[in-house]
Amino acid sequence: MVVQGQDQVLITSLKKKTKVSTNENGELQVNVSAKDVQKFKSQGWLNYGDFGAKGNGKTDDMDAIVAAHAFANQHGLKVQADKGATYYIGGKERTAIIQTDTDFGSAAFIIDDTDVQNRNASIFMVSSSQQAYQIDGITSLKRNQEKIDLSLSQPSLITVTNSYVKHYIRYGLNQNNGHAQTDIFVVDKNGHVDMDAPIIWDFDQITDIRVLPMDQKTLTITGGRFTTIANQAESKYTYYSRNIAIRRSNVLLDGLEHRIQGEGDHGAPYGGFINIRDCANVKVKNTLLTGHKTYKTIGNAGKPVSMGTYDISVNRALNISFENCQQTNDINDRTYWGIMGSNYSKNLLYDNCTFSRFDAHMGVANATIRNSTLGHMGINAIGSGTLLVENTTVRGRSLINLRSDYGSTWQGEFIIRDCTFIPSGGQPSHANLINGSYSGQHDFGYTCYMPEKIIIENLRIEDTNHTEEYQGPAIFSNINPKMIDENFKEKYPYVITQKVILKNVSSSSGKKLRLSDNPFMFKEVNVISD
């Protein structure tokens, strides 16, 4: 039997002993004795040790781990790590495909990235046994369209692209020419769109549209103490993906720990130890992660730039939640990059998390942060829908930063309720609630908006430690310093906030909340306060 994944695994059940070996083509050959087949089936689970894993922290156990999951996937069996084991995973190109419930327990996994054959090969990939496929006949889509002309066997994710339209034409040190217009959404088998995660763009043309059938049963992964021995590669944008990649809908990841060792004065960045992509309904809970050290390189504009490097990455994914999660290092330590980055996602949630930042690069549709504490990088986002921040402490430079490299845009509403804002973590600074930068001269590929409505209730601003010239906290930063009178002309006009509703906003400095250092830009904003 051949199991397709990152590797080909050849499974047999001959009379010989259970054994894992590698053939001349580098493929794994797994023979499982008839006696062991019967044992595994009757108990409903198997261990890595059953397939030859030593668990001594020195012998490379990756072949045994891959083999165990391949056999478990074939027979629908649960996988359990051996109690007390420490599995060493070297740099060989192997990926274990997880398609059944897996309990890593208290076992340790050492992932050695100092000499890697393929930095893009995940260690574990949580995947569906169902295959994505392309469809024809749908030539356009409209924003907020409720139904598309499809008849499917089950609820599915739809991904759609129009390569003739470019969005997210990045501005700044990492400038680029943009990315093809894209969207991802869920439909039921009759083609009705889940309007909790609606279509957010008009597609006048479609160059690619495909269906990803969604597994309906939740796959659960528990435990595991993972340690990455960091790569020592040159500091440039050669991202490492030696991670747990989740490519299946309806997954629960509970109780995992990830630490990092051996970071020096240089290294390549990481693309997320938990890397979630092309899926929906993933919950990560009771999990401990680690921020990566920040390294610099030369960006596309020819100047030094700090490289984003992540322990959490979410791309083209819907309904992704992080609950009761923390990081091992200080959320206020600026030598570590913000722990999370996301693109093209919808309905992201932090609940009871202590992380250095929340971030949405190329847009998020709807995000909620509640009962949480965010460190030096704070909340960075562009997107649409509702951004709700509730019962949360933010220690960034601003309460919410609208990313300037993608147009400081949010088409929707902000709701901020029962929060504490500690500007720059208590360092002397100016306090701006909503920060951004927009020149009006750059085409991002779309119209840029400020939130149409901003509701702020019960906000405490801890701004006692401020600069001498401090005038008090401002709702908006000076987003365009050149827009000071009617003479300034925007080539690409910015749609300004219409209404701000304030209720019980106070500052420890005793200074009143102001509109902005640039009152002209925001002169049309209707501010309603109690």
Q: What is the pLDDT of residue 261?
A: 98
Give me the pLDDT at residue 307, please: 94
Q: Could you tell me if 248 and 370 lie in one domain?
A: yes
Of 68-82, 436-450, 463-477, least confident by mean pLDDT is: 463-477
14 within domain boundaries: yes
Q: Which residues, 6+ apart, have CB-to-CB distance to 495 below 8 Å?
A: 447, 448, 449, 450
At residue 5, does pLDDT exceed 60?
no
Mean of pLDDT values over 499-506: 98
Q: What is the pLDDT of residue 8?
A: 81
- Retrieve residue 495's tokens: 């749609």
| Cα–Cα distance for residue pair 125/246, rounded to 1 Å | 6
Burial of 305 (0-12, 13-18, 19+ CB in 10 A): middle
| 305 plus 263 within the same structural domain | yes
Residue 160 resides in a domain:
yes
Residue 367 resides in a domain: yes
- Do 252 and 117 share a structural domain? yes
For the cut 50, the answer to whether the pLDDT of residue 218 exceeds it is yes
Examine the pLDDT at 276 and tell me if it is beyond 80.
Answer: yes
In a domain, 384, yes or no: no
Mean pLDDT of 223-246: 97
Number of compact structural domains in the chain = 4
Residue 275 and residue 328 share a domain: yes
- Give the pLDDT band (50/70/90) at residue 7: low
**Do 123 and 154 belong to one domain?**
no
* In-domain check, residue 107: no
In the prediction, which pLDDT does 15 show? 78
Do 248 and 371 share a domain, yes or no? yes
Same domain, yes or no: 226 and 351: yes
pLDDT at 3: 47
Write down the pLDDT at residue 2. Answer: 44
Q: How much is the pTM? A: 0.97
Both 327 and 344 in a single domain? Answer: yes
d(CA 448, CA 171): 13
Contact residues for 529 (Cβ-Cβ < 8 A; gap 6+): 501, 502, 503, 505
Q: Are residues 125 and 255 in the same domain?
A: yes
pLDDT greater than 60 at residue 189: yes
Considering the domain architecture, whether residues 228 and 372 belong to the same structural domain is answered as yes
Are both 337 and 459 inside the same structural domain? no
Among the three residues 332, 349, 377, which one is the final residue of a domain in this structure?
Answer: 377
Q: Is pLDDT of 6 > 50?
A: no
The mean pLDDT value for 335-341 works out to: 96
Lowest-confidence segment of 4-8, 35-39, 207-211 by average pLDDT: 4-8
Q: What's residue 173's pLDDT?
A: 87
Residue 26 binned pLDDT confidence (cut-offs 50, 70, 90): confident
Question: Does 328 lie in the same domain as 197?
Answer: no
Q: Given pLDDT bands bounded at 50, 70 and 90, which one contains residue 174?
A: confident
Inside any domain, residue 453: yes
Domain closes at, from 213, 241, 276: 213
**Residue 174 belongs to what domain range?**
133-213
* Helix (H) / strand (E) containing 63: helix 62-75
Mean pLDDT of the chain: 96
**The domain boundary residue, chosen from 177, 192, 213:** 213
Task: Give residue-wise pLDDT tens across range 383-441.
Answer: 999 999 999 999 999 999 999 999 999 999 999 999 999 999 999 888 999 999 999 99
In the chain, % of residues over pLDDT 90? 94
Residue 458 within any structural domain of the chain: yes
Q: Residue 350 — φ and ψ, nearest 5°? A: -110, 130
